[in-house]
Amino acid sequence: MIKRRASEIIRLALNISQTQNTDALSWRDCIDMLNQSYIRLYSELNNSGDLYYSKEIDFKNGTSDKIKLPKDFWKLLEIGYRSAIKGGLIPIERAPNSGQYFSGYKIINNELIFDNHFMPGELVVRYIPQPQTITFPKAGLQIAGKAVQAAYDSFNDVIVLGNAGNITVINRSNGSVLNKDMSEIVTNPISGDLSVILSPYVLAVSREIIYIVKETGIDMYDFNLNMITAAYKGNFDLYAHSIGWEEGIIVKMNNVTKKFIAGNEPIDSKDYWNFMDGEVVKSDSSYVFQTENEVLVISEIFENADSYVIADPYIYINRNGSPKVYDNFEPTDLAPALVGRGTRKGIVIGAEINNETGYGVIFKDFFTGLNMVGYAADTVLNYPNNLFFDWLAADLAVKFRIALDIPTNELPALAADYWDTLMKGISRDAYKSQRIGNVYA
């Protein structure tokens, strides 16, 4: 088996294409084109009878008349009972789409459905899994300072960092860096002396507004650190976070959750984050994900968390300096903020997904300090034949030159040669004819 990382393929494709202005290709451009090429190749290999990606699952005797197919199910190869003779299968035929049937199977709503089935042995389902989504990371960028909190506006590509003495706004789109002193000069009521105090605060960002929540009220600034509205006075807890794509932030007043939008009074609200097609809602130590049709308890993800960052579609949990990342409530093998030489130690202090640049995680590394890192993992691809990767790189090189309006020259011929050589090898080696398809369609 030969392994290649997605980032290696991108670098090779850029070299083959000999493009100069690679900045014109965004991270999302490269992702989309890489996935197009990979899914085409994956589909052709499977449809040509190559069983490299095939999987099978066994169901013991007593299986019900309805079997839920695995989440990664894509194309069915065959269904049968395990035979004692040389480990083969006794196949089960597909039942007709209408009318009465005595045996066989149907697939409805991703479920295998049987009628009057007889179980002479283990039921085996062989299938082709869904092609994986390919991503690759961005190299980390070191950020000056020692901030203890952070927020990120992915739409405008602006980082807001906060510590006890000041807040810093890093506008990556225009390269500007601005600072605001957060200390306050007060008069001692007894001596009349002037003194400087540092008021504790928490920050959050929504719709290009920086909210600075103190125990005595909320200050609001734009990204040029101009105060955009008079401070709101009130007794607040040191708790605040943005909601997601919705305007406003969540705050607490005397431990009562409120929603606050600049220029308005705080209103009673549940404590929630917009997430995927629903909301993550926090109540005391309980966390649930809810949509119009579903309520899923996800408290286990947050158990014993020192801190966490919820950034659709990821949840970052910090435990004892070891971050863990959940995607669709499942732990990821390659946590985006941890990609590098070995496992980094530190905490994720801010995150929001930027689909154009690939950046989105502000990570406080115990060794190197603050870093802006890519939220995407570096996908590892594998296949027994190196021509698989040669064609991917050559096809991407063609796509890159077309996207940049550069003549493709001999590159299409190079890609076609790799393709023909790979597919001829498949037709010789595969022991089954070209018949793999979605047989129940």
Q: What is the CA radius of gyration of the chain?
A: 28
CB-facing half-sphere around the CA of 6: CA atoms within 13 A: 21
Residue tagged 């409530």 (tokens): 329
CB-facing half-sphere around the CA of 417: CA atoms within 13 A: 7
CA–CA gap between residue 234 and residue 160 (Å, rounded):
24
Taking domain 141-374, whether its CATH number is 3.40.50 is answered by no
CA–CA gap between residue 335 and residue 333 (Å, rounded):
6
CA–CA gap between residue 208 and residue 136 (Å, rounded):
28
CA–CA gap between residue 270 and residue 288 (Å, rounded):
12
Residue 360, helix vs strand vs coil = strand
Count of Cβ atoms closer than 10 Å to residue 178 Cβ: 15
Which of 400, 385, 393, 428 minimizes the C-alpha distance to 414?
Answer: 393
Please answer whether residues 53 and 130 qualify as being in contact, where contact means their C-beta atoms are separated by less than 8 angstroms: no
Please answer whether residues 47 and 434 qualify as being in contact, where contact means their C-beta atoms are separated by less than 8 angstroms: yes
State the burial class of residue 217 (Cβ atoms within 10 Å of its Cβ: 0-12, 13-18, 19+): middle
Please name the amino acid found at residue 196: V
Task: List, by residue range, all CATH 2.120.10 domains of the chain.
Answer: 141-374
Please answer whether residues 78 and 86 qualify as being in contact, where contact means their C-beta atoms are separated by less than 8 angstroms: no
| Digitized pLDDT (tens) for each residue of the chain, 441 residues in all | 899 999 999 999 999 998 765 678 889 999 999 999 999 999 999 888 888 999 988 876 555 667 888 888 998 888 888 776 656 777 777 776 544 545 678 888 888 877 655 556 678 888 999 998 898 888 888 998 889 999 999 999 999 999 988 999 999 989 999 999 988 776 666 766 766 777 899 999 999 999 999 999 999 999 999 998 888 999 999 999 999 989 999 999 999 999 999 999 999 999 999 998 999 999 999 999 999 888 999 999 999 999 999 998 899 999 887 888 898 898 876 555 454 445 567 889 999 989 888 898 999 988 888 999 888 888 889 999 999 999 999 999 999 999 988 999 899 999 999 999 998 887 655 444 444 443 433
CA–CA gap between residue 363 and residue 365 (Å, rounded):
6
Query: At 326, which helix (H) or strand (E)?
Result: strand 322-327
